Amino acid sequence: MAYYRKRAIVINRGEEKEKQKWMPAVASVSSVSTRKLASDIEKESTVSIADIMAVLYALPGVVRRYLAEGHTVKLDGMGTFRLSIQCQGTLVDSEEAVTPDQITNIKVQFVPEMQTPATGRKGKRVNTLIASDMEWHELPPKAKKASAETDGTSSTPSGSTGGSTGSGSGSGNGGGNNDNGFS
């Protein structure tokens, strides 16, 4: 189950300028550690937790190396990592004048894998990391983030009000405030 919190935004344009409106925003209930991921993967495979941990710890360095060599990195079933750059305020008048000195920021972008459902019909592409049966529940206002590392179970906030609002990804922007899904 996924959680949302109620988020107030102030409209900054049009007839409703300065009016407060409300929308849902994704709320995280915990941070899942590398060890917890490895433990869960061990239960779903024939690989030991030690081997899984070794692979997960090596992955960032290998991805970093391939990105530095000019590659994109695709993890089947997850998505693709690629570099992007920013060059603010450093436009030049000719192609010959372009240099790496113009790069002001380097970022790694992750693009989730998308698939067309196997329905035999043309369908909307879906993100492979979003469960098709996801239910949304309101996060209680006083709930605190916990770690889902110690007891091997997913931690959820106590006192949840339930109240499923159906499934979906809940993306959008709140009057110019980007909500990237992390709280």
Domain assignment of residue 183, yes or no: no
Q: How many domains does the chain have?
A: 1
Domain assignment of residue 28, yes or no: yes
pLDDT score of 130 more than 70:
yes
3-state helix, strand, coil split of the chain in percent (to 5) is: 20, 30, 50
pLDDT tens across 39-57, in order? 999 999 999 999 999 999 9
pLDDT score of 60 more than 90:
yes
Domain assignment of residue 165, yes or no: yes
- What span, in angstroms and rounded, lies between the C-alpha atoms of 97 and 156? 55
Find the domain containing 12 and state its range: 2-176
Pairing of strands 73-75, 79-86: antiparallel
Domain assignment of residue 11, yes or no: yes
CATH number at residue 57: 4.10.520.10
Domain assignment of residue 182, yes or no: no
Domain assignment of residue 84, yes or no: yes
Alpha helices, H only, 2-33: none
Question: According to the model, what pLDDT value does residue 175 have?
Answer: 35
List the one residue out of 179, 178, 175 whose CA is nearest residue 19. Answer: 175
pLDDT score of 173 more than 50:
no
Question: Tokens 């109620």, residue?
Answer: 6
Domain assignment of residue 116, yes or no: yes
Write out the E strands in the chain: 2-10, 20-27, 30-31, 73-75, 79-86, 105-112, 114-115, 126-127, 136-138, 146-147, 173-174, 177-178
Q: Two tokens at 60? A: 């960032």
Domain assignment of residue 24, yes or no: yes
pLDDT tens across 95-114, in order? 999 999 889 999 999 999 99
